[in-house]
Amino acid sequence: MTWINGQFQASLPVSDRGLAYGDGIFETIACINQTLHLWSRHWQRLQQGTKQLSLALPEQQTLLNWIEQALAEKNNPPLAVVKIIITRGSGGRGYRSPDQPQPRTIITVHPWPEHNADDYQQGISVMVCQTCQAPQPALAGIKHLNRLEQVLAAQELSANNCREGLMLECLPVDNNKSAKKTVIEGISSNLFFVTRGRLLTPKITYSGVNGTIRSELLEQAQALDIPLATGRYELQDVLNADEVFFTNSIFGILPVSKIIYQYGQKSRHYQQRDVSMRLAKRLNPELQRPCQFNSL
Amino acid sequence: MTWINGQFQASLPVSDRGLAYGDGIFETIACINQTLHLWSRHWQRLQQGTKQLSLALPEQQTLLNWIEQALAEKNNPPLAVVKIIITRGSGGRGYRSPDQPQPRTIITVHPWPEHNADDYQQGISVMVCQTCQAPQPALAGIKHLNRLEQVLAAQELSANNCREGLMLECLPVDNNKSAKKTVIEGISSNLFFVTRGRLLTPKITYSGVNGTIRSELLEQAQALDIPLATGRYELQDVLNADEVFFTNSIFGILPVSKIIYQYGQKSRHYQQRDVSMRLAKRLNPELQRPCQFNSL
């Protein structure tokens, strides 16, 4: 069952602009022993998302009360995933928003996905997806509901038995053969890699999501004195790296053992885990995820 | 009320992937005296859209029966807008589609928008939007549910008292100052312009929608011996044109009297209507729209 604006409801009106145009945002939050993990970062991103889309955001306390209600109805599971969707509410036909939109906040509680211990100990296999992310600065960073690029990329995964996909930025329209392949993120996670002890992650300027764990790590790395940079990086930089890992709000830090590229024809194996593990030790236990990675 | 897979329903499950990710497509069809205008072109685009997204499409006859039901429930209005949404149906959390998705076809019948005769006789004012369309070849052409770019562009219109907005392609990421502004389409329509008797319209390769009226016009122009080209055009080409008009499945052909550009600081007026009117005479009466345009 579902909570919509604090009311217990099974379904939503077909006139909702979230359905019609993906006119809204969402958050996926780990709830550990009734605590919303990194709530302030999720709240910050909700604020940023509603601002970029000129969407009204409920009061923080109201939202927290609604989440509490939704969790209570599930008997407060010790581990759960809370998903929040905020749409612009109902509208008529046409892209133009109603003059007085009545946003809808939809809260659902999902089972906690158990992890595969091998994924953490050995690292996961990742493929470079052909589906690219189109650079759209007006939507970069926020977790909006226009996710067909991710849906198409996820379709590629199924065929290749990979746990995650690495997404590149779409090549420029007037592409000459020398155009560089810029990396952005995973399908549902952020990308980090380590080169000569330096932690690197793509800047989220033209596409990609400002992940909550990503933001947290950028801070943790400073606290651990791990040298850090964000920028525009090429696929080749990642292939040349010593360590690679992905992050998201549910699985934490997940090391990569292999990247498959060039349409499945080539692969690169990663054996080091030193920096990844130092960071994972800070963060993964909070999400009840392993932080002992095997260096191969 | 709404028809979902041929059943009369008021609402849809919150688990629908159309809401979660915009995972689906739609069509907006003029229904004139119980006839779906240019149905075969809409059907063709539904086929293309479901193919690009690997989405199942109902049988044509099933879909037509569902539309007939939905119209009958509204007492078969002489003029109406039929909207079809096809989503991948319900799914769990995560971008990956269920193994056996059960698509949902949602049919709604909307009032026919009356036209303003002045819009046709005098032409409309159009502004160049700052919200751009990001080039994404995997989604170009089809009428998918990821429409935040159009939603943001439509927000710009409200402030400027314009009937339609002209959307450009996003500039390349590594933009040097000399990058050209490429035109794509209107917010909810396709763009045509006429230069020295030649009819021109942007190619729909990296972004934009393959409009049904657009396809129809490309054929009609040949039949009328109007020289025709599609390509990548710059804003300056449109500003230099003799005539400009927009097309969509509901308003038909709508001439442009003025384009406002450079953040509202400049404008260009268009006085000729010769080619626009020849085409409108073929097409607008079918949609019960005026085809007599004033040349100024």
CA torsion through residues A65, A71, A77, A81, sign: negative
How confident is the prediction for chain A on average, in pLDDT?
95
Give A225 to chain B, closest Cα distance, Å: 32
Q: Which of A287, A271, A286 is nearest to A194 (CA)?
A: A271
Considering the domain architecture, whether residues A106 and A144 belong to the same structural domain is answered as no
CATH number where B204 lies: 3.20.10.10
Identify whether B181 is part of a domain: yes
Of B59, B88, B111, at which residue does a domain stop?
Answer: B111
Count Cβ atoms below 10 Å from residue A66 Cβ, excluding itself: 20
Same domain? A92 vs A152 = no
In a domain, B293, yes or no: no
pLDDT tens digits for B163-209? 999 999 999 887 766 778 999 999 999 999 999 999 999 999 999 99
- What residues make up the domain containing B46? 2-111
* pTM of model > 0.90: yes
Final residue belonging to a domain, choices B76, B95, B111: B111
Name the pLDDT band for A258 (thresholds 50, 70, 90): very high
Mean of the pLDDT values across residues A105-132?
A: 96
Cβ-based neighbour number of residue B113 at 10 Å: 13
- Is A294 a member of any domain? no
pLDDT, average across residues A229-244: 98
Q: Which residues pair with A54 in a beta bridge?
A: none
Mean pLDDT in residue range A220-239: 97
* pLDDT at position A176: 67
**Could you tell me if B155 and B103 lie in one domain?**
no
Instruction: Give the closest of A12, A93, A135 to B134, CB-based.
Output: A135
Please report residues of B whose CB lies closer than 8 A to that of A16.
19
Least Cα distance to A153 among A175, A172, A126, A117 occurs for A126
A32 within some domain: yes
d(CA B37, CA B250) in angstroms, rounded, equals 9
Q: Are residues A77 and A224 in the same domain?
A: no
Q: Please check whether residue B252 is in contact with residue B279, taking contact to mean a CB–CB distance below 8 angstroms.
A: no
CB pairs under 8 A between A and B: 189
User: Within this chain, do residues B136 and B203 fall inside the same structural domain, yes or no?
Assistant: yes
Backbone angles phi and psi of A127, in degrees to 5: -115, 150
Residues A94, A169 within the same domain: no
Residues B226 and B199 sit within 8 Å (Cβ to Cβ): yes
Residue B294 lies in a domain: no
Q: Considering its fold, how many domains does chain B have in total? A: 2
Q: Give the Cα separation of A245 and B260 in Å (integer).
A: 48
pLDDT, one tens digit per residue, over B98-111 is 999 999 999 999 99
| Among chain A residues, CA nearest to B179 | A174
A94 touches chain B (CB under 8 A): yes
For CA atoms A157, A162, A164, A169, give the dihedral sign.
Answer: negative
Instruction: Give yes or no for residue B295 having a pLDDT over 80.
Output: no
Domain stop point among A56, A83, A111? A111
**Distance, CA of B56 to CA of B71 (rounded, Å):** 24
Tell me, yes or no, whether A148 lies in a domain.
Answer: yes
Predicted local confidence at residue A174, as pLDDT: 77
Over range B31-45, report the average pLDDT: 98
The answer to whether position A295 is within a domain reads: no
Q: What angle do CA A244, A250, A255 make, to 5 degrees?
A: 20
**Co-location of A145 and A257 in the same domain:** yes
Determine the average pLDDT of the residues in B257-281: 95
Residue B68 · residue B84 · CB < 8 Å = no
Would you state the structure tokens that stand for residue A165, as one six-digit string?
Answer: 């996909």
pLDDT in tens, A161-175: 899 999 999 998 877
On whether both B16 and B129 belong to a single domain, the answer is: no
B16:A19 CB<8 A: yes
| A contacts of B84 (beta carbons < 8 Å) | none
Distance of CA B139 to the CA centre of its chain: 14
Same domain, B122 and B262: yes
Residue B296 domain-assigned (yes or no): no
- Chain B residues touching residue A19 (CB < 8 angstroms): 12, 16, 18-19, 85, 87, 145
CA A106 to CA A66: how far, in whole Å?
9
**A-proximal residues of B, 245-274, CB under 8 Å:** none
Crossing angle of helices B212-223 and B39-53, in 10° steps, is: 130
Range of lowest pLDDT (A29-38, A166-175, B66-75, B186-195)? A166-175
For B230-234, what is the mean pLDDT? 97
Statement to judge: residues A121 and A101 lie in one domain: no
| Residue A258 three-state SS | strand
CATH code for position B89: 3.30.470.10
Instruction: Please give the average per-residue pLDDT across B52-80, as a whole number.
Output: 97
- Do B36 and B154 reside in the same domain of the chain? no
B223 and B147, same structural domain?
yes
Which amino acid is it at A192?
F
